[in-house]
Amino acid sequence: MLGEQLQKLYNLQELERQSEQMEDNLKRHPGKKELWSLRKKIEQAEISCSDMGEKIASLKKELASTNLKSRELDSEIKTLEKKIYSGEVKTMKELSKLQGKQETLKKALDENDEKELKLMEELEILEKTLFSEKQEMINMKREYNQKRLKTLEEIDKIKIEMERINTERDKLLTDISSELLDKYEKVKKQKKQPVAFVQSGKCSGCRMEVSVMVAREVNRHEGIVYCESCGRILM
Ligand SMILES: [Zn+2]
């Protein structure tokens, strides 16, 4: 009778050990950490894309105003040109003044054209970068969703298995005497696994030799016997 009870107690210990291990597996599931860091990466990419989008918009604005300025300069130059060749200019002084003004305007136009070119180049590079970053973000989001589903599936499996083990444990609890359970719980406060075997004269919990007397008592199954060294319940 006691032998049978001890066997059940040992089974209980095994179920509790498995349940604890699974709880640990849940806590340290690698998927959680991977998902977290992937989510951070996506958030960063989103910020970077929106910054780039803003930068592109402001570059486009700048480009439009540069473009407008070029046209204005161009028309001013043409107006001057007309004036110079219209025959209206009567003196050399007036002519050279107009020509000087024209030179200044041409220089300004050149500079403005150069600025426009640079802006266009910058814009092109940014748009290409934004495109590839967006592409990468789509890939990351896809990866995140797949990983999330896989992790959820794995966690569900562990939870289902845990539930099965806990149900089995609860069933077993009703089969073991409360006296024995009390003793088990008391030892469990000190030792994670309170039940041990006597194997080749040694306690399987602490690997210390048990005395001949203790070994004999264990075999007799007349009362609960504790290991003299570690205090575990022997069976
Ligand atoms: Zn021991």
CATH at 53: 1.10.287.1490
Tell me, yes or no, whether 193 lies in a domain.
Answer: no
115 CA distance to ligand 1 centroid (A)? 85
213 CA distance to ligand 1 centroid (A)? 15
Tell me, yes or no, whether 216 lies in a domain.
Answer: no
Tell me how far apart the alpha carbons of residues 168 and 173 are, in angstroms, rounded to a whole number. 9
197 CA distance to ligand 1 centroid (A)? 9
Tell me, yes or no, whether 102 lies in a domain.
Answer: yes
pLDDT digits over 213-233, tens only?
Answer: 999 999 998 999 999 999 999
- Number of residues assigned to the chain: 235
Tell me, yes or no, whether 221 lies in a domain.
Answer: no
Tell me, yes or no, whether 123 lies in a domain.
Answer: yes
Residue with tokens 């340290």: 28
> Which pLDDT belongs to residue 87?
86
DSSP secondary-structure letter at 15? H
Phi, psi torsion values for 91, nearest 5 degrees:
-115, 155
> Which pLDDT belongs to residue 162?
96
DSSP secondary-structure letter at 223? S
Tell me, yes or no, whether 110 lies in a domain.
Answer: yes
Phi, psi torsion values for 196, nearest 5 degrees:
-135, 160
> Which pLDDT belongs to residue 159?
95
Domain range enclosing 158:
28-175
> Which pLDDT belongs to residue 88?
87
Whether the Cβ atoms of residue 150 and residue 195 lie closer than 8 Å to each other:
no
206 CA distance to ligand 1 centroid (A)? 4
> Which pLDDT belongs to residue 110?
97
- The number of distinct structural domains making up the chain is 1
Ranges of residues in the chain whose predicted pLDDT is under 70:
none
Whether the Cβ atoms of residue 49 and residue 132 lie closer than 8 Å to each other:
no
Tell me, yes or no, whether 209 lies in a domain.
Answer: no
pLDDT digits over 106-125, tens only?
Answer: 999 999 999 999 999 999 99
> Which pLDDT belongs to residue 1?
81
223 CA distance to ligand 1 centroid (A)? 17
End-to-end CA distance of the chain: 12
Tell me, yes or no, whether 10 lies in a domain.
Answer: no
